[in-house]
Structure 1
Amino acid sequence: MPEAPFVPVVPAGGSGTRLWPLSRRARPKFLLDLTGQGRSLLQLTLDRLAPLADRPPIVVTGRAHVAAVREQLDEDVRVLAEPSARNSMPAIALAAAHVERESPDAVIGSFAADHLIEEEAAFARAVTAARDAAELGLLVTVGIAPASPSTGFGYIESAGDGGADPALSARLRAVGAEPVVRFVEKPDRERAEAFVDAGLRWNAGMFVVRASVLLDELAVQIPALAAGAREIAAAHGGAEEQEVLERVWPTMTAIAIDHALAEPLAAQGRVAVVPAEFDWDDVGDFAALARQFREREGAARRGEDGTEVHVVGSASVDALSSRATVYGSTDRHIALVGLEGVSIVDTEDVLLVLADEKVQALQQLVGRLDEQGLGRLR
């Protein structure tokens, strides 16, 4: 079948409180070079999507971050500004409405701005398969082979070689996809282990679909949201563009695409998954980031006493009997003795020392800053 043009969509939002104080309100996680590669997570995302795109990518970000986002991107990348954060579905719907208006048959692919993927060739194969499946009129996602029974991710259950519609299942298998039975929310440890044993895959939040199909299906599920996105897109470039955006955007339901479309459409047999085999990480906290560094050969400073320290930035670090990850570029010399499994973040206004097993508690600490009169540090 002839391929419809493919337009990558990158929702770039969130404050990244689990990576504070590296990530702040004014400079969230996706704008940061967290891995020391000289490229931000947003730039790395667009780098791997560029060879797959038939039209310039679209980045949807908060109004406060537009200038910083534009500074990091090539001129041909389009940036759409959200007046306020309303979760992933309005952002993706807005981009889809712009694409539909310009290329009615186009396929869009939504990919988070702040995830890490190493095997780009395997990623490209998965997206290509998802494009083929999307041309069958379905919402298509990419399912990641679990590296562990994680309780931090949702899961996808597929029908494998079966499915309620044998003809559709056969067409999906021909392009490397499978029908989705259901999406499952983040489980407890026991259920996560059972999911992995049963062959379920991680839900990485990647969705590929015809722009018109997304909006038509959304019009059934949440009519006002689809209509609002189309009204804003129709006003683009006109004298009333800003007035329409300011009037309509606050009325659009704040909801994730998983709840708005993926789950109800899966129940109707309208979702497919491409099983993918590449390393993926949402780099959700400092423990995840430290794991990335541990897996990179030759990136650590090691000692005969068991020391293993990864340094991101220009910080001067000396360590004895310690395992740590240090993020810093201040003039302070950092000395470590007898620390096991910690992350140290040294910025001009904050010093954070965080045990790997306590990373989930960081959000509580950040949440107290405003009430302590320290909101400027967020």
Structure 2
Amino acid sequence: MTEAHVVIVSHPVAPGARTRQREPGREVNDYVALSWRIQDAGLMRRRYGYYWIKLIAVPVVFALCVGLFLLVGDSWWQLGVAALFAVVFTQTAFLGHDAAHRQIFRSGKWNDWTSLVLGNLFVGMSYGWWQHKHTRHHANPNKEGADPDIDLPVIAFTPAQVAARRPPIAAWLIAHQGWFFFPVLLLEGVSLHASSVHRVFMREKLTRRWVEAGFLLVRITGYLVLVFLVLSPGTAAAFLAVQLGLFGLYMGMSFAPNHKGMPLVPPGLKLDFLRRQVLTSRNIRGGRVLDFAMGGLNYQIEHHLFPSMPRPHLRSAAPIIHSACVDLGVPYTQAGLFESYGIVLRYINRVGLGEKDPFECPLVAARQAGEGL
């Protein structure tokens, strides 16, 4: 499968938990059966108290950060404040991610507007751009030609991308791309803002375009005006470089370990929903500190199977999904945080060096050979 661990731990059903029997003569889809277990455990119910605390905390924390910024003034100590801003922006983006997946409210409009305010107004990222991109990723994770997260201009994730004609220097960089992966993430913050602005002002269809444009204009111009009014030009440039660099690094290090280095799905291969999501996703082992630091993205398998599940329920859902995968014979992959980064780096290096299929999944290979899943 991959160099990560495959968990094969069985968890019995809790006493008193309801189970549903298949109706005579009617086949029940594996995913439907799993979703019944999740529903019976109460893991799809809303967590309004949890999320309202976070939503109220956002403007309060931003106000405190701005107050600290003004208090420190034109000083090189502002580089530490820049690091703090990077963490706050990333955590806010995680909350916007939850709202975009309908995890917070029952109302779609409430979730949409929450994502718009958090993403566009507080973080400076277009909700419409992100939603368009992220929906395609969830529909076809790691599928060649369909998943935008493995189609990046600076990193090759598939043999076909490596085979594309490139100038000699670009070919050399691709062959050694593992060395540049984390430095490239330092540019991700700038890329996210630039892609958002580009999407909002493109002619493609975008719901609430003028709302998004107005929020982005207020966020980006207001932030730059504040920075350059308080700081001298040199200090302001350094502040923005640190804040944007660490924001991009933090975002990239939270999203990268979850699918990179997992099996690629060829364009013509069809897999059922449960196996498509589990086989291409990797969980990151860790405690509640890691849950907070990664915004719940460390439970990538659970999140991809049940995108609208509130973040605080992901930890409780994991044992149930472990057990179901064991019963179905579907490998459930997880790794430690630093172990996962090692897998990602080795994978993209091996792809860059021209290996045709560095991490082939036996189950995917079996499906391709017609043996079935």
Name the structure with the higher strand share: 1
Q: Which bin holds the TM-score, normalised by the shorter protein?
A: under 0.3
Which protein has greater RCO, CA pairs closer than 8 Å, 6+ apart? 2
Name the structure with the higher helix share: 2
TM superposition score normalised by structure 1: 0.26
TM superposition score normalised by structure 2: 0.26
